């Protein structure tokens, strides 16, 4: 079974804190993604990575950064958390190519107070 594991299911942080969300996949997938999901807005892509140390901005990268030092791990970083970053964060991974499916983690519900 493919597994995408996010480090926390629920997280509460204070405004201004630096926040790390970790994602690990065990299927040697090249591509990894971070999304946030808010009511009525669907899944919005924050950043994605197609190889170690490679990253590309998605649709809403502002206020976020990412790190991919190892193939299996993709980290989302909130440099200075703000209340408008309260959301559900989802990590996903895929193989490269058109015929592929994305596997998602269970999500991290982050609350910034």
Minimum Å gap between C-beta 26 and other proteins is: 16
HSE, side-chain direction, 13 A CA sphere, residue 17: 15
Q: Tell me: does residue 17 bind other proteins (CB under 8 A).
A: no
**Which is closer to other proteins, CB of 51 or CB of 79?**
51
**Which is closer to other proteins, CB of 14 or CB of 73?**
73
Contact partners, residue 100, CB within 8 Å, separation at least 6: 94
Q: Which of residues 23-52 bind other proteins (CB under 8 A)?
A: 30-31, 33, 35, 40-45, 48, 50-51
| Residue range at the interface with other proteins (CB under 8 A); choices 13-21, 61-69, 77-85, 88-96 | 88-96
Instruction: Give the burial string for 75-104 (b: 16+ CB within 10 Å, else e).
Output: bbbbeebeeebbbebbbbbbeeeeeeeebe
């Amino acid at each position: 079974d493919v597994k995408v594991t996010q480090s926390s299911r629920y997280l509460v942080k204070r405004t201004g804190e630096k926040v790390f969300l970790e994602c690990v996949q065990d299927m040697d997938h090249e591509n990894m993604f971070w999304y946030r999901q808010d009511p009525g807005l669907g899944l919005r892509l924050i950043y994605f990575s197609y190889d170690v140390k490679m990253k590309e901005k998605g649709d809403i990268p502002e206020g976020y950064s990412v790190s991919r030092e190892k193939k299996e791990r993709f980290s989302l970083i909130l440099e200075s958390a703000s209340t408008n970053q309260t959301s559900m964060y989802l990590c996903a991974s895929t193989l490269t190519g058109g015929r592929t499916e994305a596997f998602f983690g269970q999500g991290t519900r982050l609350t910034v107070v």
